A and B are shown apart, each in its own frame.
Chain A
Amino acid sequence: MKLNELTAHELLDLLKAKKTTPREIRDAVLAGIARTDGQVKAYVRLRSKASGEQEPSGDVSMPIPIGIKDNICVTGEPTTCCSRILEGFKPPYDATVIQKLKGSGAQIIGSTNMDEFAFGSSTENSCYGPTRNPWDRDRVPGGSSGGSAAAVAGHEAIWALGSDTGGSIRQPASFCGVVGLKPTYGRVSRYGLIAFASSLDQIGPITKDVEDSALLLGIIAGYDERDSTSADLPVPDYTKALVNDVKGLKIGIPGEYFVEGIDPQVREAIDVAINVLETRGATFHEISLPHTGYATATYYIVATAEASSNLARYDGVQYGLRRQPLDTRKTPLIDMYEETRDAGLGSEAKRRIMLGTYSLSSGYYDDYYLKGLKVRTLIKQDFDKAFLKLDAIVTPTAPTTAFKIGEKSDDPLSMYLSDIYTISANLSGIPAISIPCGFSRDRLPIGLQILAKPFDEAMLFRVAYAYEQSTPWHKERAPV
């Protein structure tokens, strides 16, 4: 097996035994990119080797090559959210997660593709063009962190960082047959993550297996005084949760997640997965999360409202794209704003800015945004109540497997439904993980989503690891 096809923990073992070097690993990953990325297009740019930057040595703890979603700031590297409007923007600062990764010796390989500003579920809304699913190049990798998921699945990165606002880590992980974790809101600092919806965004790991997920979360998690919304709580050693034992755990199955719209093959895979965990000693309980049906509507009100405000700074004044119309009429400033934003933002970004602006407008605020916040509270209470008696909840990650490129791009509503199972975790702030749980008949990966109480990522790892150790799915490799 090639080095780039291994997991991080396997590579760390080899490094420890001095059977490889950080340099060799890096070269293997770059070779993988050279071989595959022309078709997959997981990366939008590879990192220019910064002058004076040290070669990773054996002294650092985890010199693992990593792909970074293009909305996480790296000092001096273009960071554009795959939007024309951030053309040429090079942040003069590292995101807190990047600082932590650099401290661990990580080798940042490049920036991965995404839907513009994370607006989408297919990575088709990128100004650089779509990423393709390594399992089937005619299909989407999911989104918005499709580049990161495809890079990991296609052996173009050992692991990667994504961001998840409504499912943007978990749904592409599911589509690409890898492990994607959305941590509890506040578990990982958002400083340096270019905001989509500030009250929902979280950075999280996309990895080949559960152990790597636990390792990578251990690096990036923790309180950050630069992010007031990060939680001042100790970070446990998540690898301790990998006990391969779920005996006696109480796991819920919400009825509302298994209704119309779900692909029968997905449903079957989830049923089998539940069976596996049951044989390992977990007990399953039918539960109700009664406000589930409102989640998508609530999400699109709250998330677009915040997005409309977060994207207001892209006005052509300080950085990024600026268009000044030649024919300057009476209002040169407003003309500049309009031309710049018209040229710089894609159609989905414009759609969401308009939706969000509308729901915050005077006269509509109470009926939309305020009501959205209230329903959000109800959704959170559904989970609070459920977790009084449960250790975890399982659901499908997405109602379907990866769809064809172009299949939903003209139908935003059906695209939005792609996140129907993942959105509630963001609205309620709880952690959730997607792990591979089988394949469809046309050999497309299916994902199992596990949810737990706030700040109980250890429980996710415990259930996911026990499942993984009983199944072969994480060993499957995309045909590259």
Chain B
Amino acid sequence: MSQTLQQKYETVIGLEVHLQLSTRTKIFCGCANVFGRDPNTQTCPVCLGLPGTLPVLNKMALEYALKIAMALDCRINPVIKFDRKNYYYPDLPKGYQISQYDKPVAYDGHLWMTTADGQARKINIKRAHLEEDAGKLIHDDRSNSSLVDYNRTGTPLMEIVSEPDLRSPQEAYDYLQALKLTLEYLHVSDCDMEKGSLRCDANVSIREAGAKTFGTKTELKNMNSFKAVRAALEFEEKRQREVVSSGGRIIQETRLWSEEKWTTITMRSKEEAHDYRYFPEPDLVPFEIDEALIEEVRRSIPELPRQKFERFVGEYGLSEYDARIIVADQHIAHFFEACAKLYADTKKICNWLNGPLLQEINGRKLAPRDVKIKPEDLVAIIRKVDENVLSNLSAKEALKQVLDTGKDAAAVIRDAGLAQVSDSSALEGIVDELIREHQSVVAQIREGKPSAVGFLIGQAMRKSQGKANPRMIGEIIRRKLSNKSEA
């Protein structure tokens, strides 16, 4: 049944992402824009909305918004205007939120993303606008009362609204990853869903495959990870298909995702939806965006993930697979490029980066930017392998120790005695011992079973604690055994 429903209905998804901008101060006052301080310590009369106070636009927030607009290839409104969105809630001290209604900073943009099957896909961005964040309600069970923390009030937010271009929960997930990556490259936000600096609501509807018009949508809220977004969408997609295929109708409503119950539940229907009574914010004069500002911001935009990806494939000959992994973190990308300046074999750098180095980083639960290793060190280790000074195993050990100690690679290799034993007399002694200990294997080799040589090499590595040069060991074994057979 689910197979037929899968084919019969197409899912249509649009996402609204709220991004907290990491400006030094809040959007309309001079309070520090910081997370995690004691409640109500980062406030002033303006962000508390005390009577008589007035907002003043933070220029940095506007610059960050323009950066995002440009990175998403949006058109930019030449005049920035704000509007009031009126509603009552205790975390909203003025009884309205300063937002943008009919003239967002940015509109008509797009983002390129890669689908799970490796296809590039363009997702259109409907609009992106600036607004202020609200405070936070904290429920106190002991006193059965609610407390308000206004530290977050006035944090600059950019709301980025996609067109309903996404066709599956997985695609929505991939879009979020791509969007987050682009935003990370811009250095405009922490992009940390756990801290709430990136939040996402989803609009989802289904329609018969091939239909031109949209079905009735529901809005999903309360997802606190990308995985939760995907899970909520999967649940909702299934729910809507079941409703429609059993002859029911979808009701336009807002539904909350419950992580504990793994379900979505009705929050409010269309009839209960707020009338926000938007009107132009009279306390802020329209702000003209001149060419000089646009140029200044344009110059501050770094190379973005997609451009970097294309350049790495073109300039360094990386496979798309490798390039995608490396570009997925700007620190790794930067590290790769620094290594590539020192060492020509970029495939080998990729193998080390995407293999042992990323494993170590993930194993330590570190963010790549917190990892203490210089490009010179990784390149030095790779070179030592090339020169047969390090075995692959020793090289991995050297890498690990560089990360542990912060020492440079040469010092680690020297101090830990990781250099390979290439001294043939020492190696010959090891091989002689092995020939004595493994007569049956020796016999197999003599019978022309070359894989048995591998076994002996392995044993030699073990005896030398990984320091023996495996290629030399192999040569010695073959020489000795062929000598003997001739003898």
Give A residues with C-beta under 8 Å from B.
Answer: 71-73, 79, 81, 86, 89, 91-93, 95, 190-195, 197-199, 225-229, 305-306, 308-309, 311-313, 315, 317-319, 333, 337, 357, 360-362, 365, 369
Contacts and interface: CB of A to CB of B under 8 A. Distances in A.
Given A89-B51, A360-B86, A228 B275 contact: no
Interface in B8-65: 45, 48-57
B88 interface: yes
A404 to B, nearest CB: 33
Given A198-B282, A315-B95, A333-B90, A362 B51 contact: no
Q: Which of B51, B90, B148 has the most CB of A within 10 A?
A: B51
A365 B52 contact: no
Contacts of B283: 195, 198, 228-229
Interface string B272-311: 0001011100111100000000000000000000000000
A95 B52 contact: yes
B56 A313 contact: no
Nearest to B84: A309
B52 A317 contact: no
B207 interface: no
25 contacts: A73-B52, A91-B45, A91-B52, A92-B50, A93-B45, A191-B53, A195-B52, A227-B54, A227-B56, A228-B57, A229-B285, A305-B279, A306-B282, A308-B86, A312-B86, A312-B94, A312-B96, A313-B49, A313-B94, A315-B90, A317-B148, A337-B88, A361-B275, A361-B277, A365-B279
Nearest to B91: A317
Contact of B50 (A91, A333, A365): A91
A226 B54 contact: yes
B51 A317 contact: no
Contacts, number: 100
Nearest to B28: A228
B356 interface: no
Contact of A357 (B56, B148, B277): B277
B368 interface: no
B93 interface: yes
A309 B54 contact: no
B93 A318 contact: yes
A309 B279 contact: yes
Contacts of B148: 317
Given A228-B285, A306-B282, A194 B95 contact: no
Contact of B282 (A199, A308, A333): A199
A276 B372 CA distance: 87
Contacts of A318: 48-50, 93
Contact of B88 (A73, A93, A198, A315): A315
Interface in B244-271: none
Contacts of B54: 190-191, 226-229
Given A79-B52, A360-B277, A365-B279, 18 more contacts: A72-B52, A93-B45, A191-B53, A192-B52, A195-B283, A225-B56, A226-B54, A227-B54, A228-B56, A228-B57, A228-B284, A306-B279, A309-B279, A312-B86, A312-B96, A315-B88, A318-B49, A369-B279
A406 to B, nearest CB: 30
Contacts of A192: 52-53
A93 B47 CA distance: 14
Contact of A362 (B55, B277, B285): B277
B86 A309 contact: yes
A93 B57 CA distance: 20
Nearest to B284: A228
B51 A313 contact: yes
Interface residues of B, number: 28
A361 B276 CA distance: 8
Contacts of A73: 51-52
Contacts of A92: 45, 50
A292 to B, nearest CB: 23
Closest 3 CB pairs of A and B: A312-B95, A198-B282, A360-B277
A92 B282 CA distance: 24
Contacts of B284: 228-229
Nearest to B287: A228
B134 to A, nearest CB: 12
A333 B146 CA distance: 10
Contacts of A305: 279
Contacts of B52: 71-73, 79, 91, 93, 95, 191-195
A199 B93 CA distance: 21
A318 B50 CA distance: 9
A191 B54 CA distance: 6
A194 B51 contact: yes
Contacts of A357: 277
B255 to A, nearest CB: 21
Contacts of A229: 54, 282-285
Contacts of B285: 228-229
Contacts of A227: 54, 56
Contact of B51 (A86, A308, A360, A365): A86
A317 B284 CA distance: 25
A197 to B, nearest CB: 8
Residue of B45, B57, B278 most packed against chain A (CB within 10 A):
B45
B8 to A, nearest CB: 36
A357 B87 CA distance: 11
Interface string B301-329: 00000000000000000000000000000
Contacts of B90: 315, 317, 333
A361 B87 CA distance: 12
Contacts of A362: 275, 277
Contacts of A315: 88, 90, 95
A93 B54 CA distance: 12
Contacts of A228: 54-57, 283-285
A86 B51 CA distance: 9
A313 B93 contact: yes
A423 B51 CA distance: 24
A428 B55 CA distance: 23
A151 to B, nearest CB: 21
A315 B86 CA distance: 13
A118 B49 CA distance: 19
B88 A309 contact: no
A385 to B, nearest CB: 24
A71 B96 CA distance: 21
Contacts of B278: 360
Contacts of A360: 86, 277-279
B408 to A, nearest CB: 51
Contacts of A312: 86, 88, 94-96
Contact of A91 (B51, B86, B95, B96): B51
Contacts of A319: 50
Contacts of B56: 225-228
